[in-house]
Amino acid sequence: MSNSMKITAGRTITRTLTALIRAMGGQRATTIAYVDGKGEDSAGTVEIHNVLTTSKGGITVRAMCRARGEMRTFALEQIKAYTVQRIRFVLTVLEEKVQEVFPLTYFVFTAEEMLDLELERDYLLPKVSLAV
């Protein structure tokens, strides 16, 4: 992995999203340059724990901020550049705490869980019991 910043304006959304999801799956810290809520440029290193879609079709990235030690939300369009680091996650996220703050949100921690959730939503397959 290269440590140079990838400018999102020069990349497709798919390519940026793929890189961020790959960083999440590999539990690699990611340094991002983004526009904060006040419209100012900012930067920080985060540990991405989830990628969500909004009801309006937007994409959000949920990540632990290494500087603050708290969960943060970034709209994908806020992220202007990123670098996937070689260093692994070091912060702990308690799933119970996440569900307490966001009770109607599904959180996935692996690519397999994300695929399962998406397939369940799209196909609404009935649950089959194999108990005899």
Residue pLDDT, tens place only, 38-91: 999 999 999 999 898 888 888 999 999 998 888 899 999 999 999 999 998 887
DSSP summary character for residue 89: P
* Mean per-residue pLDDT of the chain: 81
Q: What is the pLDDT of residues 82-97, one digit of tens each?
A: 999 999 888 776 654 5
Contacts of 80 (CB under 8 A, 6+ apart): 7, 8, 9, 33, 34, 35, 41
